[in-house]
Amino acid sequence: MQIAEPLAVAIDELSKLPGIGRKTAQRLALHLLKKNDDDVRNLLKAIQDLKSKLRFCERCFNLSEDILCNICKNHKRESSLLCVVEEASDVIAIEKTNEYNGIYHVLGGVLSPLSGVNPDSLKIKELVKRFNKEEINEVILALNPDTEGETTSLYLAKLLKPLNIKISRIARGLPIGGDLEFADDATIGRALLNRSIL
Amino acid sequence: MQIAEPLAVAIDELSKLPGIGRKTAQRLALHLLKKNDDDVRNLLKAIQDLKSKLRFCERCFNLSEDILCNICKNHKRESSLLCVVEEASDVIAIEKTNEYNGIYHVLGGVLSPLSGVNPDSLKIKELVKRFNKEEINEVILALNPDTEGETTSLYLAKLLKPLNIKISRIARGLPIGGDLEFADDATIGRALLNRSIL
């Protein structure tokens, strides 16, 4: 096929993005071609800034523009309540709910011996240090409810137990709008086990 | 929500792309953040080159790096067979089939009086001029089989009739792998009408 080189290269590069196949990549490339220069410049600048202006918060390892992230800098947040999550994207997910006003600690992943992720690869040492420096009363473990997330939760619970802090884990059960008929056994089992008294 | 500014801007810009919602945009932004600098630089350069290096072929208005596109420059193509398409993306679609060895003419759209697209907005004048300059024996109208594409095809057929060239239109019928049961009435009707004798 005799397709112009710059277009072929752009399709190649765009199709490397997650969830973008070659057809979508072609559609995006042709869309960008039609867009005016300013719009494309804004997109390019946004991606550049993403790489150059963002760093990790030195306290909680959330994404940040400064030494401390917006959440750590905010004095209105309850600094005695700490939520441990896997990735910065989980912080965004929890923030969107407007149900949480505490602070965070981003582990940067979960324990996975098969993929070579051990406690030293995660920000676990840094988490333990925070309990010495900060006044934290409760830790919420908000890791994903999969095998590796559960393993990491159990590891952290054991590690933090001697510190005599309240440790909790986010509830597992049926998702809102879910359907008993289509839920898997493990989810229904857990929902029964963790039933709440009305 | 207290999300870092550069990330918020990147999500905004990415979600302006067609078919990319805010969730996908967030996923893409976080993916780019994790990628190494070289990969992101390659992507940015590819998009920049797309805008700066591509132009329209002066003969057929396909996307091109030079004055003439790769297809027009290729002397092995049958220059007496001309295929008229709406957009450069249609050239790519036809080239992918490896069934066509003629040349192209990209109209840049279809007639659509309601959207203010009249014959002067398209490369129709340029198409007619080509018949004076080039030796073309057959024109294939390969516009989309929708109302506007059909209207434009009829307009072009009428316009080109006095030139005494063979004018054809790509077949309409059931798509390969399609199912009679789920095809619409118009498609089945056309497939019956245009049946081919075995």
Interface with chain A: mutation pick from B14, B35, B40, B51, highest number of A CBs within 10 Å: B51
pLDDT at B178 (0 to 100): 82
Does the pLDDT value for residue B74 go beyond 80? Answer: yes
Confidence of residue A71 (pLDDT cuts 50, 70, 90): very high
Average pLDDT, chain B: 91
Contact across the interface for B18 and A28, Cβ inside 8 Å: yes
pLDDT at A160 (0 to 100): 92
Mean pLDDT of B39-56: 93
Does the pLDDT value for residue B145 go beyond 80? Answer: yes
Tens of pLDDT, residues B15-31: 999 999 999 999 999 99
Confidence of residue B72 (pLDDT cuts 50, 70, 90): very high
Does the pLDDT value for residue A1 go beyond 70? Answer: no
Q: Indicate the residue of A4, A31, A65 with minimum beta-carbon distance to B70.
A: A4
3-state helix, strand, coil in chain A (%, to 5): 50, 15, 35
Mean pLDDT of A118-145: 93
Tens of pLDDT, residues B8-17: 999 999 999 9
Q: Which of A123, A133, A49, A60 is nearest to B2 (CA)?
A: A60
Average pLDDT, chain A: 91
Mean pLDDT of A146-168: 92
Report how far residue A139's alpha carbon sits from residue A84's, in angstroms, rounded to the nearest whole number.
7
Does the pLDDT value for residue A196 go beyond 90? Answer: no
Contact across the interface for B33 and A54, Cβ inside 8 Å: yes
Mean pLDDT of B138-142: 94
Does the pLDDT value for residue B137 go beyond 80? Answer: yes
Contact across the interface for A6 and B54, Cβ inside 8 Å: yes
Report how far residue B187's alpha carbon sits from residue B190's, in angstroms, rounded to the nearest whole number.
5
Nearest residue of B to residue A91, measured between CA atoms: B3
Q: Which residues pair with A55 in a beta bridge?
A: A64
pLDDT at B175 (0 to 100): 87
Q: Which of A112-116, A176-180, B145-149 has the lowest mean pLDDT?
A: A176-180
Chain B partners of A93 at a C-beta cutoff of 8 Å? none
pLDDT at B1 (0 to 100): 58
pLDDT at B190 (0 to 100): 84
Chain B partners of A65 at a C-beta cutoff of 8 Å? 4-6
Q: Which residues pair with B106 in a beta bridge?
A: B85
Q: What are phi and psi of A81, to 5 degrees?
A: -115, 120
Pairing mode of beta strands B81-85, B103-106: parallel
How many angstroms away from the CA of A162 is the closest CA of chain B? Answer: 33
Q: Which residues pair with B141 in a beta bridge?
A: B84, B169
Q: Which of A159-168, A173-182, B108-117 has the lowest mean pLDDT?
A: A173-182
- A27 contact B CB<8A: yes
Q: Indicate the residue of B10, B63, B96 with minimum beta-carbon distance to A7.
A: B63
Report how far residue B165's alpha carbon sits from residue B178's, in angstroms, rounded to the nearest whole number.
34
How many angstroms away from the CA of A87 is the closest CA of chain B? Answer: 10
Mean pLDDT of A40-66: 93
Confidence of residue A177 (pLDDT cuts 50, 70, 90): confident
